[in-house]
Amino acid sequence: MTSLLEQKCVETIRFLSADTVQKANSGHPGLPMGAAAMAFTIWSRHLRHSPRNPKWIDRDRFVLSGGHGSALLYALLHLSGYQLTLDDLKNFRQWGSKTPGHPEFGHTVGVETTTGPLGQGFANGVGMALAEAKLAAEFNRPSYELVNHYTYAIVTDGDLMEGISSEAASLAGTLKLGKLIYLYDDNQISIEGSTDIAFTEDRMARFASYGWHTQVVSDGNDIDAIDAAIIAAKKDLRPSIIAVRTLIGYGLPNKAGKASAHGEPAGVEELARAKTEAGWNPEVSFLIPEDVASFFLSRTDILEGEHDIWMKLIKTYQTHFSDLATELIRRMRGELPPQWTGELPIYAADAKGVATRIASGKALNQFANQLPEIFGGSADLAPSNKTNLDGMRSIKAGDYSGRNIHFGVREHAMGAIVNGIHYHGGFRSFGATFLVFADYLRPAIRISALSGLPSIWVFTHDSIGVGEDGPTHQPIEQLASLRAIPNLVTIRPCDANESNAAWKTALERTNGPTALIFTRQNLPILDRNIVADASMLEKGAYVLADAGDQEPELILMGSGSEVSLIFEAGLRLAAEGINVRMVSIPSWELFEAQPESYRKEVLPDSIAARVAVEAGINMGWAKYIGEGGQVISIDHFGASAPAEVLFEQYGFTIENVIETAMGVLKK
């Protein structure tokens, strides 16, 4: 039965959160005050974690999908003994604080996900649960359940409105991810007012149709009822959602249950009245009664005891399964094993060439054979993206030992699920689709960059080379839009050998995501006996070759499918007596990370005549071509026609590169 002390703990969470928001005079008190009881129930009766060992492999994961309620999470972290002080709470939303307006992974200890854009946390949790299920399938042995934990989340009306949640919930139900338990903060209020104005569906019927276990708790302050619902959820083999009827801003005399409680501080007088009515001293802020502090400390001691039991288990496991234990620890640390690249194919010069998507598929499979942590999939496009892991099973309900994920046509959820897998740890995951559909998962790509996750995004069909499918499927602005995302490395290799190097570079990244851009059409394989080695891709840009008998007077540069154009054009110009440098620039971000001396070595200031060629918009190329250069680009939508016709019609020909270069030289 709920004790008076537990009720006091809930009130402490409620007022600590509200004080945090009020001190900053900025934030969202409504969710923390309304959801305090269900958050307390999760954290005090169910969540297995270790404040003193926050990276414990077998900890339960907690996701606050409604990240605007971050004050709730910070209050729980502080009370539970994480390295988050009262001063940190008092510094909420301020410069340099550990308590930003929305939770940020890697910034605040104990925060498992970066949330705030609604729906992302919902789908991240699905990725976490999938990672747990797969890790358990790989490493658990009879009597040794090293991996046996749950993913809990508090989700909101806004989360459920977002389409990404429908996508993710459908897949979670299909895969029967039974370790996934979501508590839905059913307060029926959004910023614009009652959810009746836009959200009247039967939520639980919807989730039941997805294959979820559904329950309803009518009183959001009934700790015992919430506890019983979570216990029932744990016994069900399906993912679970519990609709908990709450009152936004609970305790506020004038704002409770109103939209005004959502996103603005309660106000000094309103908060004081709330404390008075609850029997608290209205003059005191950030109060943590001694008995409440002792309650949480005792809970932390119990949790540390569970962590110690697990540590004894893994030590015994190590004696019986030494190699498995070593592998598990390596993977959870995100480390690569020695000599992990294996023997990659080296492609000989070939004028007919090979599509880089095909070379990508071969590289991916080669690396997957060396790295068991690689698993991922495509948004129902694996045959086109060439991302199927050959000879390896697919993930399916009840059997999570496979390595191919069938995401279905769900790009946005795919992106956030891949991120969730990386939040969890133990894997290197990827998601694939056509480049033009990068827009469908852009919010997840952005969060992967913000969170420093090593997610790998595979995009094929990278230009007007898509051909007859027409402008709906021909990416024009997508390359520039990806390059605009901070901490995302975008790589567009020019041939099969650069494709190998691109995958190697992506897998070596540990502090951010990589977008790999591949062609549908065949590309010539450059003769690496003539041009620089493809391993130079790791520098982002490099000199393919200098043609002519004197110092270069012209630089031709490009990425991806256009590099073969500049190379052939350069050779013809050299035959006419013009000294040309040909530069491959597969990744702007990697190039910008090089020392200035290297960048100037590749693109010397002394050479003003420059031509860049890329089948996309010209945005950004100005920094490389300078005032004297020119870009051959496509700054309009494409058309439906064979690829070779489109390239010719839009000026992506050797002849046009030569003509443009001659014009630049005459300036």
**Catalytic residue positions?**
411
Helix 322-333 × helix 290-320 angle, to 10°: 130
For residue 368 the two structure tokens come to 């997957």
Cα 334 to Cα 131, 173, 280, 427: the distances in Å are 14, 29, 47, 8
Residue for token pair 């925060």 = 111
Please tell me the distance from the alpha carbon of residue 28 to that of residue 34, in angstroms, as a whole number.
Answer: 11
Please tell me the distance from the alpha carbon of residue 235 to that of residue 244, in angstroms, as a whole number.
Answer: 19
Cα 410 to Cα 123, 375, 430, 440: the distances in Å are 11, 17, 14, 9
Residue type, 476: I
Assign residue 334 a region: left if phi > 0, alpha if psi is -120 to 50, beta otherwise? Answer: left
Give the residues across from 47 on adjacent strands.
none
Does an H or E element contain 240, and which?
strand 240-245
Please tell me the distance from the alpha carbon of residue 604 to that of residue 639, in angstroms, as a whole number.
Answer: 37
Which residues neighbour 243 within 8 Å (Cβ) at sequence distance 6 or greater?
184, 186, 203, 204, 214, 215, 216, 217
Cα 24 to Cα 33, 95, 349, 663: the distances in Å are 16, 11, 63, 60
Where are any strands of DSSP class E within 531-578? 542-547, 554-558
Q: What is the CA radius of gyration of the chain?
A: 28
Residues 461/435, Cβ–Cβ less than 8 Å: yes
SS3 515: strand
Which residues neighbour 433 within 8 Å (Cβ) at sequence distance 6 or greater?
378, 379, 381, 385, 411, 414, 440, 441, 458, 459
Q: What is the dihedral of CA 47, 51, 55, 60, to 10 degrees?
A: 0
Where are any strands of DSSP class E within 57-200? 61-64, 151-156, 180-186, 189-190, 193-194
Residues 643/608, Cβ–Cβ less than 8 Å: no
